[in-house]
Amino acid sequence: MVTKVAYGQRIAKSEKYPDGWKDLTKSQINLDVPTVICLGGDGTIGPRSANAMAKYANQLLGRNGLEDNEEIQVLSVYFDGANRLEMTNSRFCHRSDDKMSYTAEEQNPNYIYDLYEDIIKKNLYNQMGGKIAVSQAQKKLRNLNVLAFCHGDYVTCKLNEVMKQDMLSHGYSAKEIDSITKQVAVVSVVPQDKLSKSSFSKIGFASLDDYHYDSHDSSAVTDMFELDSNECSVIGIVERPTESKAHRSRMFYLDNLLDYNSIEDKFSVWLGKTEKLHQMTTYINLDYNNEFGVKSASGKTFSLMIAQALQNCVSNSCQNVQTENLMELKLDEIFKNNHPAYKTGESKLNANYLSIDVEAEVNKALTKGQKLDNILYPQPSPTLLTASHQKE
């Protein structure tokens, strides 16, 4: 069965929409207002899972109870008729040096091109198919913020590739493409690829004991730590100029996300004997707990860091639509405790995510990450959040 991309929007629950979900056609997808597009894992093959991702986005933004407010839109994607094995294989293929064992669909899924057509492409060209002014494309794409989880991160990587290839074929220069692609903001939980491959503005979060996570850094980093059930620390791994453009990508690791009840519990997670840790709710729910333990103090900070990153991305989009000139997003300032530039809810849960001060914790993580980077990657050393970056 051919995989079809389907869209929907989280709205307030009502008699007509008891699940708080409304299906959308591709013609209804636009970037006219600040937008969050949710891309879930490879199990997002129906509206229920897509609705859950949209719910998480509203939770992180502190907009519970304001789902019908049109100031910003939270949309979510699911893959109707998808073969989960093929979706997983596509992600593996993306990282593999040997692609011969994968099918053509697994190497280049058609749904990636559908997503590109439906969400991005129509904001880059005029009715005659010619490129539009760079400034116009920049303003429109700055409305696009992606919240991705696991396979959803793979999707953003492939979208990035397709977008650059298509723009080159339509006359955009490499410099113009770079200035436009960087306007897309991606907040990625458990990313599935090296951030250096992305020309979107991207920030990622992963727990070292989430065995689904795969990165060129992870094996080297985990060698630095003992599997101690009492250990709990936030580690910042920041952008490295040799691998990515300045101001473009940053990665944060956490160990441990949970305070485990025993060393046996941690080994169960570490050795991949459970799916319990690999869930979006584990990363973002401040009060999450399961049979392996409760959210650690650093795990709660991690949740707030994810919330702050998404809030500031969307706030920038809201400010951008109110100005004539482009207001670019600065990842250096992504964790500053700014008041959201959009209407927020009033619930206690919303207050937890909105009344936060994580900047000091982030700088501690970056300092720690710098020391770790100096061991793993002696040249060049990374820069701190407050330090000036080299020009691109």
pLDDT digits (tens, 9 = 90+) for 288-328: 988 888 998 889 999 999 999 999 999 999 999 999 999 99
The CA-atom distances, in angstroms, between 63 and each of 23, 49, 95, 343 are: 20, 19, 36, 8
Kindly report the number of other CB atoms within 10 A of residue 102's CB atom.
17
Nearest to 10 by CA among 79, 56, 60, 41: 56
What DSSP letter does each residue of 33-61 carry, written as one string? S-EEEEE--TT--SHHHHHHHHHHHHHHH
Task: Specify the amino acid at residue 289.
Answer: N
Q: Round to whole Å and give the CA distance between 167 and 164.
A: 5
| Residue-wise pLDDT tens digits, 90-110 | 877 777 777 888 888 878 888
Q: Is the dihedral of CA 21, 64, 277, 111 positive or negative?
A: positive
Residue 196, SS3 per DSSP: helix
- Residue 229 in this model has a pLDDT that exceeds 50: no
392 pLDDT more than 50: no
Q: Which residues is 217 bridged to in the sheet?
A: none
Q: For residue range 124-154, list pLDDT tens digits in order.
A: 999 888 999 999 999 999 999 999 999 999 9
DSSP letters, 110-177, are: HHHHHHIIIIIGGGTB-TTS-B--HHHHHHHHTTEEEEEETHHHHHHHHHHHHHHHHHHHTT--HHHH
* CB of 193 closer than 8 Å to CB of 157: yes
- What pLDDT score was predicted for residue 131? 92
Q: What is the mean pLDDT of the chain?
A: 85
Q: In what order do the strands lie in the sheet with 201-207?
A: 21-24, 4-10, 73-80, 35-39, 144-149, 185-189, 201-207, 249-255, 233-237
Show the tokens assigned to 91: 């992600």
Give Rg (Cα) of the chain: 20
Q: Say how far apart CA 143 and CA 139 lie, in whole Å.
A: 7
Contact between 153 and 188 (Cβ < 8 Å): yes
Taking only the tens place, the pLDDT of each residue in 157-202 is 999 999 999 999 999 999 999 999 999 999 999 988 766 667 899 9
Type and span of the H or E element at 310: helix 297-321
Torsion of CA 117, 34, 57, 284, to 10 degrees: 110
Instruction: Please give the average per-residue pLDDT across 26-49, as a whole number.
Output: 94
Highest mean pLDDT among 39-53, 242-256, 343-357: 39-53
Q: How far apart are the C-alpha atoms of 373 and 340, rounded to whole Å?
A: 32
Q: Using CA atoms, how far apart are residues 320 and 34, in angstroms rounded to an integer?
A: 9
Give domain limits for the chain.
4-376
Using the CB atoms, write b or e for 119-149: b if 16+ within 10 Å: bbbbbbbeeeeebeebeebbbbbbbbbbbbb
At 239, the amino acid letter reads E
Distances 71 to 23, 143, 223, 276, 311 between C-alpha atoms, Å: 19, 12, 46, 35, 14
54-89 pLDDT, tens digit per residue, is 999 999 999 999 998 999 999 999 999 877 778 787
- Helices (H) then strands (E): counts for the chain: 13, 12
One-letter amino acid for residue 287 of the chain: D
